Amino acid sequence: MPVHTIRDLPSDNNNNNNNNPSSGGGRSLGGGGGRSLGGGRSLGNGSSNSNNNNNASSSSGRVLSSGEAVSYQPSSANYAGGAADNGGSSSGGGSMFGGMFSRLGGMFSQGSGSTAGGGSYSATGQPVDVESQNRPTDPYQQQYDMNEDMFWSYNLHGITPQWYHTCLMCCCPCFVGPPCSPTRKQDYKNMLKTFCFWISIVQIIYFIVEVSVGGIDSSNPSIGPSSSTLLLLGAKSAYKIKKEYQLWRLFTPLIMHAGFLHLFMNLFVQVMICMGYEKTWKWYRVLPIYIIAGVGGNLLSCVALPDSVSVGASGAIMGLIGAKVANIIIRWKKIPTQPKIMQCISVGFIIVITLLWSFSDYVDYAGHLGGLMCGFIIGFACFAITEVSDRIYKWTIFAMSVGLTFVIYLTLSLVFGLVTTVSA
């Protein structure tokens, strides 16, 4: 049975080895395809000439069984173009025997090797990311990679995930991982560029004004000011809009809230969900959807609930969720299957829960429905421009979306102005 040997050759070797070319100054030990490792050291395959056969028995080299992987680190690092220290790696670049050495590497090792420079290569010569192969699978990272609507970056790199990270990823991912890491700092910078963040700041400031003016009314279940205070500061009032032409009351409710609980719930959805939408949609899509849906919700509220005093950004937020449905429909063939399923389940769950809650006491269901409907329709116009490649199809969707939104606005306005009866 043939054997493989590793030995040190004397510098004054026999003449029958002087003619053997070597890129590293070494002499090949095998006439059957030895691989020169440089510096006078050579790796044979057991099929050398007679002179070398006689010296094989007296050599101090280690005898390897056939097929055993060879790992040898010479004392002098003089490989051409970067030496290889593993049997499956290729020797230096630029040598005329480089390709032959790469192929012979597979004879000595079936696995992957590593170069002196730190790179790793498979038996076929392809680079291998050893760290990614050895790194344990992280379910949080997989969920984050599939969720395009997650605003906050995954911040557990190098940290073993704990059970409480599951809760934080669902309710407040900004607290996952080191809060001052470079990744998280970049998230804070990106947050300052979003419309959702700044409209949330405006809503908090305006709520402070509400409490400062009217205080806390004990009869308000949301822990906030009285309805008279809200009416004074710009709440939706069908009577004042119709009889006193205070049309600005269709807009001001978007930055007003009835109490602490109302503000907290809206800001939570606005920051956790809508800010994630804005990450990919950008502010110039979120802004028109937010306003159009919010005003549309207030218009429907004036028609369906003319005697109620309403405030809140819920209609605008529902408009962004409706626009997400339009976004999924427009990009249906572009979204991979698993992320598509996740998005459909997520959006469907939010819509069902919100609509069920909308018909409870002290909640303006008409504002929610109107915002959802207007956001869904105008969303096609916002996304068709960039997501649809066919020019005719693109502008047809855009025109139909804008036209239908205008028809809804006109219809609600006419019904409110001509049919709806309001009282002071």
- My answer on whether 355 and 291 are in the same domain is yes
Of 101, 120, 135, which residue is a domain's last? Answer: 135
pLDDT at 58 over 80: no
Pick the most confident of 32-36, 104-108, 416-420: 416-420
Q: Do 404 and 377 contact (CB within 8 A), yes or no?
A: yes
Question: Is residue 424 one of the residues assigned to a domain?
Answer: no
Q: Do 379 and 397 contact (CB within 8 A), yes or no?
A: no
Q: What is the model's pLDDT at position 166?
A: 65
Q: Which residues pair with 6 in a beta bridge?
A: 43, 62
pLDDT at 112 over 80: no
Q: Do 382 and 285 contact (CB within 8 A), yes or no?
A: yes
- My answer on whether 169 and 202 are in the same domain is no
Question: Is residue 423 one of the residues assigned to a domain?
Answer: no
* Cα 245 to Cα 86, 248, 259, 300, 360, distances in angstroms: 84, 9, 27, 17, 30
Lowest mean pLDDT among 60-64, 146-150, 320-324: 60-64
- My answer on whether 178 and 285 are in the same domain is no
Q: Which of 262, 314, 389, 423 is catalytic?
A: 314
Report the CATH number at residue 232: 1.20.1540.10
Question: How confident is the model over 187-220, as pLDDT tens digits?
Answer: 889 999 999 999 999 999 999 999 999 899 888 8
Q: Which residues contact 299 (CB under 8 A, 6 or more apart)?
A: 250, 370, 409, 412, 413, 416
Q: Which of 91, 368, 401, 423 is catalytic?
A: 368
Q: What is the model's pLDDT at position 266?
A: 93
- My answer on whether 97 and 9 are in the same domain is yes
Lowest mean pLDDT among 53-62, 74-83, 150-159, 196-205: 74-83
Q: If you average pLDDT over residues 290-303, what whole number do you get?
A: 95
Q: What is the model's pLDDT at position 250?
A: 94
Question: Is residue 10 one of the residues assigned to a domain?
Answer: yes
Average pLDDT along the chain? 73
Give yes or no: 314 in active site: yes
The rounded percent of the chain whose pLDDT value lies above 90 is 40
Q: Which residues pair with 121 in a beta bridge?
A: 113, 127
Amino acid at the residue 137: T
Q: What is the model's pLDDT at position 77?
A: 38
- My answer on whether 349 and 207 are in the same domain is yes
Question: How confident is the model over 241-270, as pLDDT tens digits?
Answer: 999 999 999 999 999 999 999 999 999 999
C-alpha–C-alpha distance, residues 26 and 20, integer Å: 9
165 vs 322, more confident: 322
Torsion of CA 37, 39, 44, 47, to 10 degrees: 130
| Confidence tier at 144 by pLDDT (50, 70, 90) | low
- What residue numbers bound the domain in which 153 lies? 136-191
Question: Is residue 296 one of the residues assigned to a domain?
Answer: yes
pLDDT at 85 over 50: no
Lowest mean pLDDT among 260-269, 353-362, 402-411: 353-362
Backbone angles phi, psi at 4, to 5 degrees: -110, 135
Give yes or no: 28 in active site: no
Backbone angles phi, psi at 374, to 5 degrees: -65, -40
Q: Do 89 and 105 contact (CB within 8 A), yes or no?
A: yes
Q: Which residues contact 359 (CB under 8 A, 6 or more apart)?
A: 365
C-alpha atoms less than 13 angstroms from C-alpha of 229 in its C-beta half-sphere = 20
pLDDT at 56 over 90: no
pLDDT at 324 over 80: yes
234 torsion bin: left (phi>0), alpha (psi -120 to 50), beta (else): left
Q: Which residues pair with 115 in a beta bridge?
A: 84
- My answer on whether 117 and 146 are in the same domain is no
Of 111, 135, 159, which residue is a domain's last? Answer: 135
- My answer on whether 215 and 129 are in the same domain is no
- My answer on whether 117 and 49 are in the same domain is yes
C-alpha–C-alpha distance, residues 84 and 397, integer Å: 60
- My answer on whether 130 and 142 are in the same domain is no
